[in-house]
């Protein structure tokens, strides 16, 4: 396989990076970081010859010394310890280590995986891939769709490689969302209400829903006129990218878990995954929720349109389900999310872009970030899903009520502190 050579300048100094097109994205970013002599928490920005920001990834278009890209190093606070550091993705294992995992997948662990209160996040990444494999096995996908185990393992490994080492939208977040989806499928007994192919779509969409996330949301992509925003015409650039990366992985024979399906089955899965992953764009939140509310009183599992909307609701709930976790799990994840938000607002200020209000470290506090989000986003969404599945009340709504009480009290304490 031919290597890619990328020529760029840093402060007028010519440099080049050389890598294989299938190497991990983090390795490519590390090459640029070393060439730029950047610190571990410095922010790198790469511009093409037109002055547009482009993503540092294995898919960079090769250039030549006469058409150099320009790399900028934006210094972050190098003394600040990243919040939730223990939750970031560890790097550097090979596929064979999956077979050497010390995780014992007992019936107790399998049952534990099915509960939204799942609270052990100390798994190694190899163990997480084993747990993801367990989910595919327990939902009978292996036998129903003739998925070869070694292909599933390669698929999960490729997915792992395409999640970036960023504070929140990393491989462990992928696992959180997938585990919640898996738990909701069991709790709502969807195995008896929907076809296996629909469940396969939902679980695989959860696995792939944030592939190659950059840590900067769609508003930033659009305002900064990044390569993704230009490629997707400002329409859900991140979510479209997540889909594209998912199907890049699935195009490879060795990691295509759908390769033994019929053409019609594959077409249905592709259509369903695109709908589900695009539904995670929060700018579509009200549109999708209102559509679900309009069909709820006459919901019919035999109606494809109704099922499509439910599948979108299921991945949305799974994606933003952090506050349904025990507080000692949910709060560190919130710290990670806020770190990612603050990184973006810092960058927006540096680049003279509109600053996203709920990401501004000078205006946002932990409790203020959550009270409004829980009241106006989580509750309306979770309550409607529980209207269809009343069994979910205790599992996802009661914990969120407790989280709202917790952050409301924290907010009051902060306000009182300011007044004294």
* Amino acid 381: pLDDT: 98
In the predicted model, what is the mean pLDDT of the chain? 88
Of the options 3.90.1170.50, 3.40.50.1370, 1.10.10.10, 1.10.1300.10, the CATH number for the domain spanning 98-324: 1.10.1300.10
Give the pLDDT mean for 376-397. 97
Higher pLDDT, 102 or 246: 246
Which of 22-36, 276-290, 310-324, 399-413 is predicted with the least confidence, judged by mean pLDDT? 22-36
Picking from 373, 374, 333, 340, the residue whose alpha carbon sits closest to that of residue 359 is 340
Neighbours of 165 (CB within 10 A): 16
Kindly indicate the confidence band of residue 76, based on its pLDDT and cuts at 50, 70 and 90: very low
For the ranges 81-95, 324-338, 357-371, the lowest mean pLDDT is seen at 81-95
Residue length of the chain: 420
Q: What is the chain's alpha carbon radius of gyration, rounded to the nearest angstrom?
A: 22
Q: How confident is the model at residue 41 (pLDDT cuts 50, 70, 90)?
A: low
Domain ranges of the chain: 4-74, 98-324
Q: Is 340 exposed, middle or buried (0-12, 13-18, 19+ CB in 10 A)?
A: buried
**Tokens matching residue 70:** 């320009």
Contact assessment for residue 4 and residue 18, using Cβ atoms and an 8 Å cutoff: yes
Least confident of 209-223, 270-284, 323-337: 323-337
Q: Which fold has domain 4-74?
A: Ubiquitin-like (UB roll) (3.10.20)
Question: Is residue 135's pLDDT more than 90?
Answer: yes
Indicate the DSSP class of residue 253: G
Geometric angle at alpha carbon 309, from 304 and 314, rounded to 5°: 120
pLDDT (average), residues 208-232: 96
Q: Mind listing the pLDDT tens digit for each residue in 140-196?
A: 999 999 999 999 999 999 999 999 999 999 999 999 999 999 999 999 999 999 999
Q: Which single residue is written with the structure tokens 């949301």?
A: 217
Q: What is the mean pLDDT of residues 84-96?
A: 33
Does residue 2 have a pLDDT over 80?
A: no
Measure the CA–CA gap between 41 and 27, rounded to whole angstroms: 15
pLDDT grade for 368, boundaries at 50, 70 and 90: very high
Supply φ then ψ for residue 45, to 5 degrees: -125, 130
The confidence band for 395, taking pLDDT boundaries of 50, 70 and 90, is very high
Q: How far apart are CA 318 and CA 373, in angstroms?
A: 15
Contact 74, 43 (CB under 8 A): yes
Look at residue 79 and tell me whether its pLDDT is greater than 60.
Answer: no
The predicted-structure confidence for 334-366, as pLDDT tens digits, reads as follows 999 999 999 999 999 999 999 998 999 999 999
Bridge partner residues of 1 (DSSP): none
Q: Give the C-alpha separation, 409 to 325, whole Å.
A: 19
CA distance 361 to 382: 28
Residues annotated as catalytic are: 169
Torsion of CA 241, 245, 250, 253, to 10 degrees: 140
d(CA 178, CA 211): 13
- The pLDDT of residue 119 is 59
pLDDT at residue 121, as a whole number: 56
DSSP 262: -
Q: DSSP string spanning 98-143?
A: GGG------HHHHHHHT-TT-------HHHHHHHHHHHHHHTTHHH
For the chain, the maximum distance between any two Cα atoms, rounded to a whole number of angstroms, is 68
- Contact call for residues 17 and 33 (beta carbons, < 8 A): no
Work out the average pLDDT over 73-102.
39
* pLDDT band, residue 104 (cuts 50/70/90): low
With cut-offs at 50, 70 and 90, classify the pLDDT of residue 1: low
Q: What is the pLDDT of residue 417?
A: 77
Instruction: Determine the average pLDDT of the residues in 8-22.
Output: 86
Q: What is the 3-state secondary structure (H, E, C) of 358-407?
A: HHCCCCCCHHHHHHHHHHHHHHHHHHHHHHHCHHHHHHHHHHHHHHHHHH
114 vs 265, residue with greater confidence: 265
Element (H, E) at 21: none
Token pair 């730029």 in the structure block, residue: 36
Query: CB of 215 within 8 A of CB of 166?
Result: yes
Element (H, E) at 177: helix 171-187
Query: What pLDDT sits at residue 154?
Result: 94
**What 3-state DSSP class applies to 293?**
helix
Q: How confident is the model at residue 311 (pLDDT cuts 50, 70, 90)?
A: very high
Which of the four pLDDT bands, split at 50, 70 and 90, describes residue 248?
Answer: very high
Distance CA 204, CA 178 (A): 8
Q: What's the whole-number mean pLDDT along residues 88-100?
A: 37
d(CA 276, CA 318): 11
């Amino acid at each position: 396989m031919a290597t890619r050579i990328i020529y760029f300048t840093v402060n007028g100094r010519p440099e080049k990076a050389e890598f294989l097109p299938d190497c991990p994205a983090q390795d490519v970013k590390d090459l640029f970081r070393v060439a730029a002599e950047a610190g571990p928490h410095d922010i790198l920005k790469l511009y093409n010859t037109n002055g547009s920001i482009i993503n540092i990834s294995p898919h960079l278009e090769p250039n030549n010394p006469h058409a150099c890209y320009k790399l900028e190093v934006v210094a972050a606070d190098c003394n600040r310890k990243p919040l939730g550091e223990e939750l970031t993705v560890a790097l550097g294992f090979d596929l064979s280590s999956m077979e050497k995992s010390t995780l014992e997948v007992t019936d107790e662990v399998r049952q534990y995986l099915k509960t939204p209160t799942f609270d052990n996040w100390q798994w190694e990444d190899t163990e997480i891939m084993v747990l993801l494999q367990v989910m595919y096995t327990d939902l009978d996908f292996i036998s129903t769709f003739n998925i070869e185990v070694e292909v599933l393992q390669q698929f999960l490994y490729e997915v792992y490689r395409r999640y970036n080492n960023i504070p929140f939208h990393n491989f462990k977040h992928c696992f959180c969302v997938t585990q919640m989806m898996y738990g909701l499928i069991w709790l709502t007994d969807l195995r008896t209400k929907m076809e296996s192919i629909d469940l396969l779509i939902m679980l695989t969409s959860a696995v792939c829903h944030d592939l190659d996330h950059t840590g900067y949301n769609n508003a930033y992509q659009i305002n900064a006129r990044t390569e993704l925003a230009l490629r997707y015409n400002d329409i859900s650039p991140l979510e479209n990218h997540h889909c594209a990366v998912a199907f890049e992985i699935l195009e490879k024979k060795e990691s295509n878990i759908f390769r033994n399906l019929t053409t019609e089955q594959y077409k249905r899965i592709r259509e369903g995954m695109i709908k589900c992953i695009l539904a995670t764009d929060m700018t579509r939140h009200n549109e999708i929720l209102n559509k679900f509310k309009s069909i709820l009183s006459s919901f019919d599992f035999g109606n494809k349109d109704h099922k499509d909307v439910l599948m979108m609701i299921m991945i949305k709930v799974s994606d933003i389900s952090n506050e349904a976790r025990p507080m000692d799990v949910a709060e560190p994840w919130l710290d990670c999310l806020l770190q990612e938000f603050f990184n973006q607002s810092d960058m927006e200020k540096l680049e003279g872009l509109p600053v996203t209000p709920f990401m501004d470290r000078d205006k946002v506090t932990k409790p203020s970030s959550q009270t409004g989000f829980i009241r106006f986003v989580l509750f309306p969404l979770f309550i409607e899903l529980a209207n269809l599945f009343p069994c979910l009340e205790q599992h996802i709504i009661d914990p969120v009520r407790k989280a709202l009480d917790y952050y409301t009290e924290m907010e009051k304490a902060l306000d009182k502190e300011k007044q004294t």
